[in-house]
């Protein structure tokens, strides 16, 4: 007995020494009281280190210097859009399994465009809260046809669902974001989600989650924190000379959206301006409002205050909006990172006060990266960068010739909703044509277009008669037979669509290429010691790693693997 005890003690000593040298894992003897999952929308993996010279302490530096920092994380699905990445983070699975193949898809049964989390069964608790301000900026864009929201379109379980199951519904599970899809996705089926309404400047939810708002939500909304920005502007945090892009504020290719301007300061306008709340989301103010609401939620719902682990997801959206409007290499993006860094430092200090960072397992990642703006690439001598006009697809001579060949009097290509081409089913059926034959013919012609790298039909994906390469694997990972379109279109590197939710913008993500798949993955808190890991990993690994730390089963469709540095293995 003495020898056995000695050996166990020696083994434990060796283990502790190894963990000290290699980086300690999450406390083996206790579970975290709180899982804090942070998603920074469109935070390309290099941006925090690229702009580290203007960052302070306690935010990104805390994560990168005191956490386990994976510097080579990439998604392996083709369509790098917001809902696709968020649900992949939440589930540890790919779109082929979780079903969220795009922000929107054409629903053949409904014969209309469907929004990813729309659900007519569950109304918003605040009437008119989903009025789309973009429809006022661009009258051709219609408000959503379905006002309700729920997670029912997510086909697999999320990490938060598995927490609810394992802990018998006692875990408190919440998700907050400016974007509805940034909150609903992470809350999963068992949690509760809140998002910012541009229509009224409040955080809202749907009847899927509540019959009526909790009192603290009503109180927060009644205080109207968004109104504090009325008459103010987004100003530079530091003197211009401190920034990498301090001498490049005014660039012709940036977007002046709703009169927000292309140079600092960017004025929000008065609260009665119909674009006021939209401008807040195009700036660090959107993240600051999200933080304020999340801090109130954490306090009022008493997260992390008992033995049962709780879950809080915060998705910060401003980096995405700023990138779309001004680009990744812009003074606006650089200062936005400065302000986000301060927001994160504020959040971590608050978590430390209320729960304790040692009791909180933090993970930060992104739903996708972001590309450079063609105009900026041209400045660097990269002349092949340009925008692709999807509106002209059906009008090109090649497609016109196909229409004559097949005897079609109307459009052959009915629509393009990124990343899918949709063919005119009605015409194809009426003419008695074979769908697969038409798809092959269209694919053959699309491959000849300048700017198109690859096109693959859904028929080919179903039969899996494709060459095994990075492109086809990524497209297969994105393919769901009931939701994917007829042809997946891959544009060449640095070829973009300058459209974002119907608005003309400077930059749009969503490609298969590394600038859009590259994101940070960082774990911190909960007794972890610092480590920097350059091994190739994937964001799908996050949910299985969190599950392993909590000692619960992984989400139902998860394909990721637990990260052994976090587990100390």
Domain with 397 in it: what CATH number? 3.30.1360.150
Determine phi and psi for 192, rounding to 5 degrees: -130, 140
- Residue 530 inside a domain? The answer is yes
- Residue 26 inside a domain? The answer is no
- Residue 102 inside a domain? The answer is no
Specify whether 294 is located in the same domain as 327: yes
Q: In what order do the strands lie in the sheet with 413-417?
A: 413-417, 420-423, 487-491, 452-457
Specify whether 199 is located in the same domain as 249: yes
State the pLDDT at residue 475. Answer: 97
CA 519-524-529 angle, to 5 degrees, is 120
Specify whether 424 is located in the same domain as 338: no
**Number of Cα atoms under 13 Å in the Cβ half of residue 513:** 17
Specify whether 149 is located in the same domain as 183: yes
Specify whether 319 is located in the same domain as 442: no
- Residue 13 inside a domain? The answer is no
- Residue 12 inside a domain? The answer is no
The pair of three-digit structure tokens given for residue 74, joined into one six-digit string: 């990439």
- Residue 425 inside a domain? The answer is yes
State the pLDDT at residue 498. Answer: 77
- Residue 20 inside a domain? The answer is no
Total domain count for the chain?
2
pTM: predicted TM-score of the whole model, two decimal places: 0.93
Specify whether 410 is located in the same domain as 366: no
State the pLDDT at residue 27. Answer: 54
> Whose CA is closest to 479, among 501, 457, 495?
457
What's the distance, Cα to Cα, between the start and end of the chain in Å?
28
Specify whether 369 is located in the same domain as 394: no
State the pLDDT at residue 143. Answer: 39
State the pLDDT at residue 251. Answer: 94
- Residue 182 inside a domain? The answer is yes
Specify whether 426 is located in the same domain as 537: no
Exposure string of 186-208, with b = 16+ CB inside 10 Å and e = fewer, is bbbbbbbbbbbbbbbbbbbbbbb
State the pLDDT at residue 485. Answer: 97
Residue with tokens 């290099």: 46
State the pLDDT at residue 26. Answer: 63
Specify whether 373 is located in the same domain as 393: no
Q: Domain of 244: which CATH number?
A: 3.40.720.10
The pair of three-digit structure tokens given for residue 174, joined into one six-digit string: 């919440």
Specify whether the CB–CB gap between 415 and 422 falls below 8 A.
yes
Specify whether 269 is located in the same domain as 412: no
Per-residue pLDDT of the chain (569 residues; tens, 9 = 90+): 333 332 333 433 333 334 333 445 665 567 999 999 999 999 999 999 999 999 999 999 999 999 999 999 999 999 999 999 999 999 999 999 999 999 999 998 888 999 999 999 999 999 888 755 444 333 333 334 798 999 999 999 999 999 999 999 999 999 999 999 999 999 999 999 999 999 999 999 999 999 999 999 999 999 999 999 999 999 999 999 999 999 999 999 999 999 999 999 999 999 999 999 999 999 999 999 999 999 999 999 999 999 999 999 999 999 999 999 999 999 999 999 999 999 999 999 999 999 999 999 999 999 999 999 999 999 999 999 999 999 888 888 999 999 999 999 888 999 999 999 999 999 999 999 999 999 999 999 999 999 999 999 999 999 887 889 989 999 999 999 999 999 999 999 999 987 756 678 899 999 999 999 999 999 999 999 999 999 999 999 999 999 999 999 999 999 999 999 999 86
Specify whether 438 is located in the same domain as 463: yes
Specify the DSSP element, H or E, that contains 364.
strand 360-365
Q: Which domain holds residue 428?
A: 389-450+452-491
Peptide bond into 265 cis (omega under 30): yes
CA distances from 143 to 113, 133, 140, 160, 194 (A): 12, 8, 10, 30, 20
Specify whether 175 is located in the same domain as 287: yes
The pair of three-digit structure tokens given for residue 479, joined into one six-digit string: 């393919």
């Amino acid at each position: 007995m003495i020898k056995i005890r000695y050996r166990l003690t020696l083994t434990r000593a060796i283990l502790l020494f190894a963990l000290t040298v290699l980086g300690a894992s999450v406390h083996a003897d206790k579970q975290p009281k709180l899982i804090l999952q942070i998603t920074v929308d469109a935070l390309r993996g290099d941006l925090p280190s690229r702009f580290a010279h203007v960052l302070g302490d306690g935010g990104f530096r805390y994560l990168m210097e005191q956490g386990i920092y994976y510097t080579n994380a990439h998604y392996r699905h083709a369509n790098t859009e917001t809902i696709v990445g968020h649900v992949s983070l939440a589930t540890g699975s790919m779109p082929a399994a979780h079903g969220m193949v795009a922000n929107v898809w054409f629903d053949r049964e409904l014969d209309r465009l469907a929004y990813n989390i729309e659900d007519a069964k569950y109304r918003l608790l605040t009437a008119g809260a989903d009025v789309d301000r973009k429809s006022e900026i661009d009258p051709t864009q219609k408000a959503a046809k379905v006002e309700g929201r729920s997670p029912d379109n997510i086909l697999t379980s999320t990490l938060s669902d598995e927490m609810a199951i394992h802990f018998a519904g006692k875990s408190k599970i919440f998700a907050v974001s400016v974007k509805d899809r940034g909150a609903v996705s992470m809350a999963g089926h068992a949690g509760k989600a809140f998002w910012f309404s541009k229509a009224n400047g409040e955080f809202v939810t749907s009847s899927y989650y509540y019959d009526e708002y909790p009192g603290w939500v009503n109180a927060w909304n009644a205080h109207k924190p968004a109104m504090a920005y009325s008459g103010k502007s987004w100003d530079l945090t530091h003197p211009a000379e401190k920034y990498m892009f301090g001498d490049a504020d005014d660039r012709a290719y940036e977007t002046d959206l709703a009169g927000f301007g292309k140079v600092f300061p960017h004025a929000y306008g008065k609260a009665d301006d119909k674009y006021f709340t939209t401008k807040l989301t195009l700036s660090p103010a959107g993240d600051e409002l999200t933080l304020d609401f999340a801090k109130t939620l954490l306090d009022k719902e008493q997260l992390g205050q008992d033995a049962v682990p709780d879950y809080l997801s915060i998705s910060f959206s401003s980096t995405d909006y700023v990138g779309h409007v001004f680009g990744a290499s812009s003074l606006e993006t650089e200062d936005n990172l400065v302000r986000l860094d301060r927001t994160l430092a504020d959040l971590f200090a608050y978590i430390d006060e209320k729960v304790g960072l040692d009791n909180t397992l933090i993970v930060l990642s992104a739903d996708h990266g972001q590309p450079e703006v063609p105009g900026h690439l041209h400045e660097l001598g990269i002349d092949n960068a340009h925008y692709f006009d999807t509106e002209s697809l059906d009008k090109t001579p090649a497609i016109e010739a196909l229409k004559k060949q097949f005897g079609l009097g109307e459009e052959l290509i009915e629509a393009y909703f990124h990343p899918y081409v949709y063919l005119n089913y009605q015409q194809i059926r009426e003419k008695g044509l074979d769908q697969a034959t038409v798809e092959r013919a269209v694919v053959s012609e699309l491959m000849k277009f300048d700017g198109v790298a690859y096109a693959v039909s859904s028929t080919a994906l179903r039969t899996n008669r494709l060459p095994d390469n990075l492109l086809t694997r990524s497209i297969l990972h994105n393919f769901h037979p009931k939701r994917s379109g007829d042809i997946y279109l891959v544009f060449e590197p640095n070829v973009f669509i300058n459209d974002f939710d119907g608005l003309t913008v400077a930059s749009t993500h969503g490609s298969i290429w590394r600038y859009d798949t590259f994101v940070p993955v960082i774990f911190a808190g909960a007794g972890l010691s610092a480590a920097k890991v350059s091994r190739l990993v994937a964001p799908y690994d996050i949910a299985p790693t969190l599950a392993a730390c909590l000692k619960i089963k992984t989400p139902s469709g998860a394909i990721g693997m637990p990260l052994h540095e976090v587990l100390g293995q």
